[in-house]
């Protein structure tokens, strides 16, 4: 018998969830970072940006604030406004750099220990990392790091990324990021915060979106331009595939991965038709 018209239509996400494990269709997370040397109240900026990115992740939320090398962070399961009521947001204190994350689980379970940003302590200080994407070689990376005496606190690929960056940094975080990215396979848009830097990273294929904007003298990066609009920042440009963008006291500096020369842009089509907000601009095009 001929199929009905509905038989020819693709399954909707609710229908897909009945036939696929949930973690296989929850690819969208949202990341945000701000470098604001003349501002100390960065936590509210992160809050409003994450609120604008809530559609990308409704499982958990987290913000880490850097006050001259002293990190204060809070992460929990729930929506942004549930995780950060007014008193909780105030408890993050003041600072000049912040990173934030809203999550749908792609790798690892959805318990509290897997909530981002990931915080890593090392002999040069602290680092916070927020990741949107999904690595395909997480098991290999974890096995190599464990063989090198690493101890993991979570089950997510983002912690392996943070540990590998730390391993290769040796006092130079930019070199550590570039070397670690040579080992990553899969999709990743990262914001990394150190004691004095904000770093934005996009994988060589540009699978997941990442953009940069300015708010007076401050620099902000986010998964989508709608988050820049939410904090009153002007859109500057998209982070290029394979680019490592570093913001510190000397300004904004761009580096590129070696593997970028071998790759072409291959953005995820679901960013345009499902994940992203209609009022966002991705890679120069209107989602609407």
User: Is 29 marked active-site?
Assistant: yes
Q: How far apart are CA 15 and CA 218, in angstroms?
A: 43
Q: How far apart are CA 81 and CA 78, in angstroms?
A: 8
Candidates 29, 181, 226, 268; catalytic one: 29
Per the structure block, which two tokens stand in for 84? 């950060």
Backbone angles phi, psi at 257, to 5 degrees: -70, 150
Contact yes or no for 238/190 (Cβ under 8 A):
no
Q: Which residues are catalytic?
A: 29
């Amino acid at each position: 018998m001929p199929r009905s018209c509905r038989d020819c239509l693709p399954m909707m996400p609710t229908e897909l969830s009945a036939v696929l494990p949930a973690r296989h269709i929850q690819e969208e997370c949202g990341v945000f970072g701000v470098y604001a040397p003349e501002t100390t109240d960065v936590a509210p900026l992160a809050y409003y940006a994450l609120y604008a990115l809530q559609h990308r992740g409704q499982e958990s939320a987290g913000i880490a604030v850097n006050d001259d090398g002293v990190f204060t962070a809070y992460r929990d399961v729930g929506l942004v406004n549930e995780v950060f009521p007014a008193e909780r947001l105030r408890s993050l204190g003041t600072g000049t750099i912040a990173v934030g994350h809203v999550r749908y689980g792609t790798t690892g379970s959805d318990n509290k220990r897997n909530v981002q940003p990931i915080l890593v302590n090392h002999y040069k200080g602290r680092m916070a990392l927020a990741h949107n994407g999904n690595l395909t070689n997480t098991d290999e990376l974890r096995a190599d790091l464990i063989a090198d005496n690493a101890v993991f606190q979570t089950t997510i690929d983002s912690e392996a990324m943070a540990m590998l960056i730390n391993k290769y940094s040796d006092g130079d975080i930019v070199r550590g990021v570039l070397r670690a990215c040579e080992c990553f396979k899969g999709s990743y848009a990262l914001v990394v915060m150190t004691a004095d830097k904000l770093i934005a990273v996009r994988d060589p294929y540009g699978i997941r979106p990442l953009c940069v904007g300015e708010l007076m003298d401050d620099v902000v990066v986010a998964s989508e331009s709608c988050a820049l609009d939410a904090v009153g920042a002007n859109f500057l440009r998209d982070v290029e595939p394979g680019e490592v963008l570093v913001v510190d006291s000397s300004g904004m500096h761009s580096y590129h991965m070696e593997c970028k020369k071998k790759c072409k842009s291959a953005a995820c089509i679901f960013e345009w038709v499902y994940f992203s907000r209609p009022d966002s601009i991705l890679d120069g095009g209107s989602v609407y």
